[in-house]
Amino acid sequence: MDVVFVEKILRVQPNVKKLYLLLRASDAHSASQRLHNEVISKDLFRVVREKLGANLNSLISEKVTPVAGDITCKNLGVKDSNLVERMWREVDVVVNLAATTNFEERYDVALLLNTLGAKLVLDFAKKCANIKMLLHISTG
Ligand SMILES: NC(=O)c1ccc[n+]([C@@H]2O[C@H](COP(=O)([O-])OP(=O)(O)OC[C@H]3O[C@@H](n4cnc5c(N)ncnc54)[C@H](OP(=O)(O)O)[C@@H]3O)[C@@H](O)[C@H]2O)c1
């Protein structure tokens, strides 16, 4: 769903100033690789790629910042303290769609991600000075 979300923002809301996209990754480089390999290169981006052509890459570099993190950790697992502080200053909308969707997930794993993780996202959103909305997506 994160792929759908990023594509839709770039296609219908390209005026968005910045999209910090949190991805599970060990560092900024692998987060950036995941963004390119698992998000932007998907077929779903065909429409926006045809619409923007070569401008798509510059739009992505300008607007989308991949962030290595993990929502089950404090400060969403973002290790770069300058980046965390920048996010606290700039972010006004937080969208959480990270979850395990396995209905037979181990109890501790599901609790850690879908319950504690959601709480840690809320804690992070509360630290954003200009927060206007926290959107939490789930099934139940
Ligand atoms: N798909 C639907 O039709 C649908 C309908 C209604 C509601 N929903 C709800 O929408 C939410 C997302 O569903 P989905 O279909 O997008 O599920 P999904 O494809 O399994 O995506 C879940 C995402 O969460 C990420 N994630 C897992 N653990 C994480 C962590 N600790 N920190 C950061 N990210 C983590 C996963 O990243 P990795 O790639 O690193 O594993 C993955 O990208 C769920 O709450 C689901 O119940 C989905």
Query: Of all atoms in ligand 1, which is nearest to the CA of residue 140?
Result: 47
Of the residues 34, 68, 102, the one at which a domain ends = 68
19 and 84 part of one domain = no
Q: 27 and 90: one domain? A: no
Percent helix, strand and coil across the chain, each rounded to 5? Answer: 55, 15, 30
Going by alpha carbons, the residue nearest to atom 45 of ligand 1 is 138
Q: Residue 66: what pLDDT? A: 97
Q: What is the pLDDT of residue 9?
A: 93
Is there a single domain that holds both residue 136 and residue 87? yes
* pLDDT at 53 (0 to 100): 87
Residues 75 and 116 in one domain: yes
User: What per-residue confidence (pLDDT) applies to 54?
Assistant: 85
Query: Which residues are registered as beta bridge partners of 96?
Result: 136
Runs of H (alpha helix) within 13-130: 28-34, 46-52, 55-63, 81-90, 107-110, 117-126
Segments in the chain below pLDDT 50: none
Same domain, 38 and 55: yes
Is 75 found in the same domain as 137?
yes
The pLDDT of residue 2: 86
Q: CB of 5 within 8 A of CB of 47?
A: no
Q: How many domains does the chain have?
A: 2
Token representation of residue 79: 């290790």
What pLDDT shows up at residue 27?
Answer: 95
| The pLDDT value given to residue 113 | 96
| Enclosing H/E stretch for 123 | helix 117-126
Q: Which residues line ligand 1 (CB under 6 A)?
A: 1-2, 22, 24, 70-72, 97-99, 101, 113, 117, 137-139
Q: Rounded to 5 degrees, what angle do the CA atoms 10, 81, 7 make? A: 10
Range of the domain at 121: 71-140
